[in-house]
Chains A and B, each alone.
Chain A
Amino acid sequence: MARAPVVRVLEREWVVWRSLWRGSVFSAVVAPLLFLGAMGLGLGQLVKQGSGNVDGVTYLAFVTPGLMAASAVMQSAGESLWPVMAGVKWLGTYHAAVSTPVESADVYTGKLAWTGVRTVISASIFLVVATVLGGVTSPWGVLAIPATVLGALAIAAPLAAWAVLQESDGPFAVVMRIVIFPLFLFSGTFFPVSRLPNSIEWLVVFSPLWHAVELCRGATTGGAAGADTLPAVVAHVVVLLGFIGVGWCWGVRTFHRILTR
């Protein structure tokens, strides 16, 4: 039986990663763990001496799910920008793909599927190490992996859809600085969003990362913090699926427009 073209694209991403994974292992795994050490253990000691805990859990337990989702989102954002430019302009490998039975929508969807697979790998490693360090306090923590994948795709789908339209990578660094990096810092990753000024706190509903962090935090703390009720979990999942769905519809169009003109 013929394999779906999306799977063939996914395999291409795997072959590329198999050769080049060493280059990404720092940003995907080592950097988040360093953050966890510095923030969770180092800063956590200060928090313990001050307020004792955050939202009812230790600072380590608070920041672990935040870092898990936030580093996956950062990683996926980068992956959805420069490699897309390489595929469509620098190398033109996307053009090579669509000259075979593979279609432009398969190229885009396969790329997203790979982001999902890759996020499962990095998030699992992070989760295991964080558990050993004491950052995960509930067996429900396993569910932080799918939550992280949803967050990664909610960023990757619209970003890749947009990236394929760009003439150069000039705007990419700007997007990383003014969109992704603020999301990384202010989506309830390192401190509760209730600490934000009231006038801007409501803005976090537009951050896919915040929804992913709430889900992860609910999972790793067993509902002690973060999304702690079923309706809250459903609401976050629906919003993330909305980001993915809208992004995907847009990306199918933009990839088609650019690759088959």
Chain B
Amino acid sequence: MSLIRAEGLTKRFGDFVAVDGIDFEVAPGEAFGFLGPNGAGKTSTMRMIGCVSPITSGSLELFGLDASTSGPAIRSRLGSVPQEDSLDTELTVYDNLLIYGRYFDMPRAEIKQRADELLDFMQLKDRRNDRVDPLSGGMKRRLTIARALVNEPELLLLDEPTTGLDPQARHMLWERFYQLKRRGVTLVLTTHYMDEAEQLCDRLVIMDGGRIVAEGSPRELIARHSTREVVELRFPHGEARDAAVPRLSDSAARVEALPDRVLVYAHDGDEVAGVIDSLGIEVESMYPRRSTLEDVFLILTGRSLLEE
């Protein structure tokens, strides 16, 4: 039994097709991701799953209920963390949780108890009675997540949950999401960070131009679409690069020439390094590494995830 089932899910804004007939299913307890660059249709998909934005065509079910007709019933069972924090910044941390809990029609005593647990979980206990406005970006983000958890949702929707945060704040959130997953909360997230997708997702789809271009676990996707390793090469000047690319093609599964570097895909990076030395190719730097989802995206679409 799927928690979310989408078939031919489509969102149009006038003539613009934001989401172009995608199919996916999410199982209970899973951490499922939408990975793709800005404008891929991730947020539109998320807003439809959150039963905030009506679907244009196709079908979408959550908890076995039709998203088009059971919006409030579905929303009462999920928690939503939008890209923008959308907090009442002039109020206190606690009042934000109170207002939100009351939107779910929770009794005040229950909200109070739940708020104390959540503020503890999100390390905001000391700030309970402080105004939100002066809090740091990371703290506001944590409060938005605590707020989304106030109704004990079965499903947590995270739209770009760590965008704009420093690495330390991101790692703290990843650890919290992992704890939530262990408690049985289903996570659905969007991200344009491949490391976030690799860290958090059991399974993910890669989106581009409103369509799903690949689906699987991070490991599966890398194994299916990329090689095990990649060597990143930088060259002292353009001519050296242009001369090197054709000579490398024979000894690699694939060569991608990017504006700032060349990626050589091969099963064994050290072997490629040996070949480069023996051919006497002039490089500025050479960096062998494991393949990532970024490589999968590049191979599937010919573009980088972080391109605007």
- Chain A interface residues toward B at CB < 8 A: 2-3, 5, 8-9, 11-12, 15-16, 19-20, 91-93, 95-103, 259-261
Q: Top 10 closest A-B pairs, CB basis?
A: A92-B86, A100-B103, A99-B80, A101-B72, A96-B86, A101-B76, A12-B99, A102-B103, A92-B84, A101-B75
For B110, the chain A residues whose CB sits under 8 A away are none
**Given that A3-B105, A93-B88 are contacting pairs, would A99 and B50 also be in contact in the complex, using a CB cutoff of 8 Å?**
yes
From B104, which residue of chain A is reached at the shortest CB distance?
A100
For B52, the chain A residues whose CB sits under 8 A away are 95, 98-99, 259-260
For B147, the chain A residues whose CB sits under 8 A away are 96
Main secondary structure of the interface of A (DSSP, over half): helix
User: By the criterion CB–CB under 8 Å, are B80 and A260 in contact?
Assistant: no
**Given that A19-B95, A91-B88 are contacting pairs, would A12 and B102 also be in contact in the complex, using a CB cutoff of 8 Å?**
yes
For A101, the chain B residues whose CB sits under 8 A away are 72-73, 75-76, 103-105
**Given that A93-B86, A95-B82, A101-B76 are contacting pairs, would A19 and B103 also be in contact in the complex, using a CB cutoff of 8 Å?**
no
**Distance from B308 Cβ to chain A, minimum over Cβ atoms (Å):** 22
A261 contact from B53, B71, B91, Cβ within 8 A? B53
A96 contact from B13, B73, B82, Cβ within 8 A? B82
User: By the criterion CB–CB under 8 Å, are B75 and A100 in contact?
Assistant: yes
For A5, the chain B residues whose CB sits under 8 A away are 72, 103
**Distance from B201 Cβ to chain A, minimum over Cβ atoms (Å):** 22
User: By the criterion CB–CB under 8 Å, are A103 and B71 in contact?
Assistant: yes
Interface flags, B136-151, vs A, CB<8A=1, else 0: 0000000000010001
**Known contacts A15-B95, A98-B52, A259-B52; 18 further A-B pairs (Cβ under 8 A):** A3-B105, A5-B103, A8-B102, A11-B102, A12-B103, A16-B91, A91-B87, A91-B88, A91-B89, A95-B84, A96-B82, A96-B87, A96-B147, A99-B82, A100-B75, A100-B103, A102-B103, A260-B52
For B119, the chain A residues whose CB sits under 8 A away are none
The verdict on B54 contacting chain A, using a C-beta distance below 8 Å, is yes
Sample 22 A-B pairs with CB under 8 A, ordered by A number: A5-B72, A8-B103, A11-B99, A12-B103, A15-B91, A16-B90, A19-B91, A91-B86, A93-B86, A93-B87, A95-B52, A96-B87, A100-B75, A100-B76, A100-B104, A100-B151, A101-B73, A101-B76, A102-B72, A103-B72, A260-B53, A261-B53
A11 to B102: give the CA distance in the assembly, Å. 8
User: By the criterion CB–CB under 8 Å, are B91 and A99 in contact?
Assistant: no
| Total residues of chain B contacting the partner, CB 8 A | 31
A20 to B88: give the CA distance in the assembly, Å. 12
From B72, which residue of chain A is reached at the shortest CB distance?
A101
The verdict on B98 contacting chain A, using a C-beta distance below 8 Å, is yes
Q: Which of B52-71 contact A (CB under 8 A)?
A: 52-54, 71
A5 to B105: give the CA distance in the assembly, Å. 8
**Distance from A49 Cβ to chain B, minimum over Cβ atoms (Å):** 49
For B98, the chain A residues whose CB sits under 8 A away are 15
The verdict on B24 contacting chain A, using a C-beta distance below 8 Å, is no
The verdict on B304 contacting chain A, using a C-beta distance below 8 Å, is no
**Distance from B62 Cβ to chain A, minimum over Cβ atoms (Å):** 13
For B104, the chain A residues whose CB sits under 8 A away are 100-101
A98 to B74: give the CA distance in the assembly, Å. 12
For B84, the chain A residues whose CB sits under 8 A away are 92, 95
B105 contact from A8, A20, A95, Cβ within 8 A? A8
User: By the criterion CB–CB under 8 Å, are A92 and B75 in contact?
Assistant: no
User: Which of A9, A92, A100, A261 has most chain B Cβ within 10 Å?
Assistant: A100
From B85, which residue of chain A is reached at the shortest CB distance?
A92
The verdict on B217 contacting chain A, using a C-beta distance below 8 Å, is no
User: By the criterion CB–CB under 8 Å, are B13 and A261 in contact?
Assistant: yes
For A3, the chain B residues whose CB sits under 8 A away are 105
The verdict on B100 contacting chain A, using a C-beta distance below 8 Å, is yes
User: By the criterion CB–CB under 8 Å, are B82 and A20 in contact?
Assistant: no
**Given that A15-B98, A19-B92, A101-B72 are contacting pairs, would A92 and B82 also be in contact in the complex, using a CB cutoff of 8 Å?**
yes
For B88, the chain A residues whose CB sits under 8 A away are 16, 91, 93
A103 to B54: give the CA distance in the assembly, Å. 13
A97 to B85: give the CA distance in the assembly, Å. 12
**Given that A92-B84, A261-B13 are contacting pairs, would A100 and B90 also be in contact in the complex, using a CB cutoff of 8 Å?**
no
**Distance from B71 Cβ to chain A, minimum over Cβ atoms (Å):** 7
**Distance from A250 Cβ to chain B, minimum over Cβ atoms (Å):** 20
User: Which of B80, B84, B92, B103 has most chain A Cβ within 10 Å?
Assistant: B103
Q: Which of B97-116 contact A (CB under 8 A)?
A: 98-100, 102-105
